[in-house]
Amino acid sequence: MAFSSSSSVPLIFLCFFTSLFLCNAFPPHQLQHHHNHKGAASHNYKDALTKSILFFEGQRSGMLPSNQRMTWRKNSGLSDGSAMHVDLVGGYYDAGDNVKFGFPMAFTTTMLSWSVLEFGGLMKSELQNAKEAIRWATDYLLKATAHPGTIYVQVGDANKDHACWERPEDMDTPRSVFKIDKNNPGSDVAAETAAALAAASLVFRRTDPSYSKLLSRRAISVFGFADKYRGAYSNGLKSYVCPFYCSYSGYQDELLWSAAWLHKATKNPTYLNYIQINGQTLGADESDNTFGWDNKHVGARILLSKAFLVQKVQSLHNYKGHADTFICSLIPGASFSQAQYTPGGLLFKMSDSNMQYVTSTSFLLLAYAKYLTSAHKVVTCGGNIITPKRLRNIAKKQVDYLLGDNPLKMSYMVGYGSRYPQRIHHRGSSLPSVAAHPAKIQCSSGFSAMSSQAPNPNILIGAVVGGPDAHDQFPDKRSDYEQSEPSTYTNAPLVGSLAYLAHSFGQL
């Protein structure tokens, strides 16, 4: 579970390279990898890609399929929705708890879809697994939006869920159902859900046209509802969704982001017109540089800049400038820099689940580098020219840090590398599996496992944890959810980045 903040910290100008010797011995331009670098890679990106997708199987709720690979997980939440006489079985648990939060689940789906749309052509055998991860979410989102004018946005009472430490298979906390409608609007969660459905419709367009059309039609109606009945969902549902997934940034960013996805998915001029008329009031040129489940401004800018750079939609030319502003805010030493990095070179936004911003930002850098390359463009930050190659290099350094090129020489992806977190903040992973311990583990008796120093008995392969602190330290302590909890929205953008890196080093 994550809290959000958009505070920016003045840039500490630091070297991205983990080895000071390399830093001093070679100028940075000699260390940058070429676009199609086939030399020796410092990491097995293909292995990391496989694991980053496998992680989603460990987060599944509902009736698990026969081809389930994360076999220590079993069926759970099979009566979800019954409290309101609707079928809400399925979907994903967001992190290490047993609640299904619709807002981050929809963002996860959008980012998994964007990962596949940009880099799926490079994924080879993993493409099918990535699509299955998306479909597990969209099948649920279709259920959550099946009744016009209503969206079911959460299953489970988070406060009561957090008072227990139990496996999803044993859940006995209330599976309360929370919804938005015209009387209790939630433009943020509704628009993000529409974005997820629209993005996924593009993923399935060729391989499952009828499913794609269903997703697209639903996206259109859900966006209409989000735009017509405006309001933040955490106003009406505050005691249930806050402080877990409060909408801190408002709903304007989601409306712009969602309209961008609908424009891309439907090619209907209505959405381009909507963006042109409403872009400014929805925050197109705000200077924030945090992209995550709460704030989509930067993602919308990058996505709309693609329409200008690649599809040559001239009326969106301003979005390249807006996207460039974001890029300049990240570049060490460039004018307008406002990003902070740890001494070891990790982008650092906040102490709670920082790695989600590392993975989302790295993805945006690689996607934008792709669009700039296509259009033969660069970014100008004051007097500095920033090439697509530079953006790729920065993104690679962030991913490499995550995979083990850091002061602790530790991978922050569970199951990748020789040293990785052993005591992640995750109920199912930390308690014995149903196969090992068939008897029910009661609500409070699980806390002995939570406070134990023993490694988790079930390895949640591919899970990326919250990560180290501002000083590159990581205690690997289960109770420390800020650093030790994984989440679906941390992994989703990483899938695209790993596919790109695995391909560029000839591993795929």
Active site (catalytic) residues: 425, 476, 485
Q: Of 284, 106, 112, whose CA–CA distance to 195 is shortest?
A: 106
CA distance 471 to 491: 23
Return the half-sphere exposure (C-beta side, CA atoms, 13 A cut-off) of residue 179. Answer: 21
Q: CA–CA separation, 347 vs 363, rounded Å?
A: 13
How many other CB atoms are there within 10 angstroms of residue 190's CB atom? 33
Q: Rounded to an integer, what is the distance from CA 132 to the centroid of its chain?
A: 16
Cα distances (angstroms) measured from residue 367 to each of 44, 45, 213, 364, 388: 21, 17, 26, 5, 10
Task: Output the six-digit token pair for 7.
Answer: 């505070």
Contact present, 117 and 303 (Cβ < 8 Å): no
Secondary structure of 437-464 in HEC code, one letter for each residue: CCCCCCCCCCHHHHCCCCCCCCCCCCCE
Output helix, strand, coil percentages for the chain, rounded to the nearest 5.
Answer: 45, 5, 45
**Rg of the chain in Å (alpha carbons):** 21
Measured CA to CA, the distance from residue 421 to residue 480 in angstroms comes to 12
